[in-house]
Structure 1
């Protein structure tokens, strides 16, 4: 029986309410017999967090997940931890390919992204999808797609909202590549002509803006204020990091001297340009999975440290491998006037680099001279050591996660980041 004096039945907490219409009066009863029989409607309280799609409630494994959560809630009341605990025992003893764990999800990722990028303008449609047609590096996608292992198998069960988050993350990342290639006057990307070379600067910039617009629409449809705020700050961070990169030091003096702040400035810029997207995507994935606060923080710490390690290795490869291996011109950082970690470490013992850093290697012979100094110093080794330190911190951040394929995959990703050659 519905309570009296309450206009909105949903405001009543406790047991579900059974709502029926009152019986008709004697005069109306004959007419009521000809009506459609009354149907009892069960009204349940709405979930505390909303998603853009409710398909997850109908998923075959939803009931099993719900039962598993209630069973282990006292031990680890979070979807991430409880499902990871149910992964195959002993799987952390062997190396697990993180891309294979989420292979089913990544298989359809590009297709889903291209469907988000459909445009009525043929040229815009072509430019916007240009970078989604080539295989790239997806640490930001794999890291948070692996956070939801299915209870009864080694496969990964991902909520629809988390799948859409992965697609949004890739849209933001691809937009940043389009804009970066224009700013850096790049000629190649992933062993193919860059978009600015293929279509021109204007179309590349507009396509990047279009991707950010589509990402923003998809993000809003998640209807989760905290996740929306996280990914919106990522876009701002990318711009802030690009502005910081306009100078090699905080002051930007003509003849700077090395100090501890020099490396701090570089690491802050690196976080904004690279690690922010990975770390905040991991945090958002944990939030969408209804994880406990400690798991959310662990996911963020994992992504932050993984992102910093990834970029440090990237800066190191600019000095150690060929352009053919990288899929883009080697030594491009110095050509662009950028002082990255290997040079900054070399600068600590080779003060003559300060003058070159101050004028951004703009004079003839500056690039070659700076490169030779770095190669003959321990800058590359120190960069590798710092990257390893961040990779170890990423693994330590998830040490409390229960063993399983998901955890092993996240750990193995840190190993692969350190070993990569492109």
Structure 2
């Protein structure tokens, strides 16, 4: 299995610089916010989103060095992602993220909400300073999509009538929009054609959806240690994901358990057992594989390079997390 580290070897130096810069960007003027940022940006994580931006920047600038604006876009992408995680953890009352205490469990809800707001505001400021209106519009849309995804998730808790299409729409807002729009933005900074920009957007969209579906499968098949958070936390909180929605199609009793919000002692364990004995997980794997394959098809017109190859292998890496 390819590791994220070896996959990102063409941009290893870029990612090291990114990590240094992120802490500097947040700045030392606010000690508590700086502490929160250091906590966040030091918590490991795969840096998947900025890595995709950097790989696409290099793949679309094969004969030139990437610009300072490409690097700043990668940093902005990670800041927006991190801000959304801080707010998600407050809403979900999550105690752990990537195996370390969340910002709100370390610093309290007030600081966590403000830290998330601060990162969103700061990312918007750096975004405006790119002086590229098309890129500003793309990443501003992402911030709206993140909020919309969180609202949709809140409104649809324990809703057994949710369709796979509605689940994918919510997954787009919460995960894929940032990857899709920052991928397209990287291309725009490289001066690619409108057709190529559209392909880069589609690559990011499909990779993002595959990544989210895999995450939702791992919520059932992964251990709390490997997930860095409690397992089956989505189902418990009423967030119905692909494995559950597919299981509902063949196991009607699951609907009863979900609609009474696992009120009785054995309800949650019973629901997990039903999902695991259904075709929910295999069908979700196939859905993730479909999106991973679709992503790769959108790289056809990108010129061959080490970075393009890494982007192709990334699709396999996303799926390999299941095995």
- TM-score higher than 0.5 here? yes
- Cα deviation, residue 139, structure 1: 2.2
- Cα deviation, residue 357, structure 1: 3.2
Q: 2:281 aligns with which of 345, 368, 380?
A: 380
The separation in 1 between residues aligned to 2:254 and 2:19, in whole angstroms, is 44
Map of 1:342 onto structure 2? 243
- Cα deviation, residue 370, structure 1: 1.0
- Cα deviation, residue 361, structure 1: 3.4
CA deviation profile, 1:96-147 (whole Å, cap 9, x unmatched) = 9431011110011111111110142311221133210121022221212112
* Residues 128 and 210, structure 1, Cα contact 8 Å, conserved in 2: no
Map of 1:399 onto structure 2? 300
The separation in 1 between residues aligned to 2:137 and 2:62, in whole angstroms, is 30
Map of 2:154 onto structure 1? 246
Map of 1:284 onto structure 2? 185
The separation in 1 between residues aligned to 2:10 and 2:270, in whole angstroms, is 45
Larger Cα-atom Rg: 1
> Is the deviation greater in 303-312 or in 402-411?
402-411
Q: 1:229 aligns with which of 124, 127, 137?
A: 137
Q: 1:337 to 1:401 in 2, by over 3 A?
A: same
- Cα deviation, residue 201, structure 1: 1.0
Q: 1:270 to 1:191 in 2, by over 3 A?
A: same
- Cα deviation, residue 319, structure 1: 0.6
Q: 2:225 aligns with which of 295, 302, 324?
A: 324
Give the SS at the match of 1:214: helix
The separation in 2 between residues aligned to 1:195 and 1:352, in whole angstroms, is 38
- Cα deviation, residue 405, structure 1: 1.1
* Residues 145 and 162, structure 1, Cα contact 8 Å, conserved in 2: yes
Higher normalized helix content (fraction of residues): 2
The separation in 2 between residues aligned to 1:327 and 1:112, in whole angstroms, is 25
The separation in 2 between residues aligned to 1:390 and 1:106, in whole angstroms, is 26
Is 2:105 the counterpart of 1:197? yes
The separation in 1 between residues aligned to 2:13 and 2:314, in whole angstroms, is 17
Q: 1:101 aligns with which of 10, 26, 29?
A: 10
* Residues 248 and 357, structure 1, Cα contact 8 Å, conserved in 2: no
* Residues 337 and 361, structure 1, Cα contact 8 Å, conserved in 2: no
Is 2:188 the counterpart of 1:188? no
CA deviation profile, 1:317-359 (whole Å, cap 9, x unmatched) = 0111111111111111122121111011111111222233334
Map of 1:65 onto structure 2? none
Map of 1:357 onto structure 2? 258
Gaps in structure 1 of 5+ consecutive residues: 1-95
Is 2:207 the counterpart of 1:298? no
* Residues 90 and 113, structure 2, Cα contact 8 Å, conserved in 1: yes
Q: 1:114 to 1:358 in 2, by over 3 A?
A: same
- Cα deviation, residue 223, structure 1: 0.8
The separation in 1 between residues aligned to 2:294 and 2:47, in whole angstroms, is 20
Q: 1:243 to 1:360 in 2, by over 3 A?
A: farther
- Cα deviation, residue 360, structure 1: 3.9
* Residues 98 and 146, structure 1, Cα contact 8 Å, conserved in 2: no
Q: 1:262 aligns with which of 163, 168, 185?
A: 163
Q: 1:237 to 1:359 in 2, by over 3 A?
A: farther
CA deviation profile, 1:285-323 (whole Å, cap 9, x unmatched) = 101110011110110000000000000000000111111
Tell me how many residue pairs correspond in the alignment: 317
The separation in 2 between residues aligned to 1:151 and 1:380, in whole angstroms, is 40
* Residues 53 and 73, structure 2, Cα contact 8 Å, conserved in 1: no
Q: Give the TM-score of the pair, scaled to structure 1.
A: 0.72
The separation in 2 between residues aligned to 1:391 and 1:415, in whole angstroms, is 7
The separation in 1 between residues aligned to 2:263 and 2:97, in whole angstroms, is 24
Q: Which runs of 4+ in 1 moved over 4 A?
A: 149-152
Map of 1:115 onto structure 2? 24
Give the SS at the match of 1:129: helix
* Residues 339 and 357, structure 1, Cα contact 8 Å, conserved in 2: no
Map of 1:175 onto structure 2? 83
Map of 1:45 onto structure 2? none
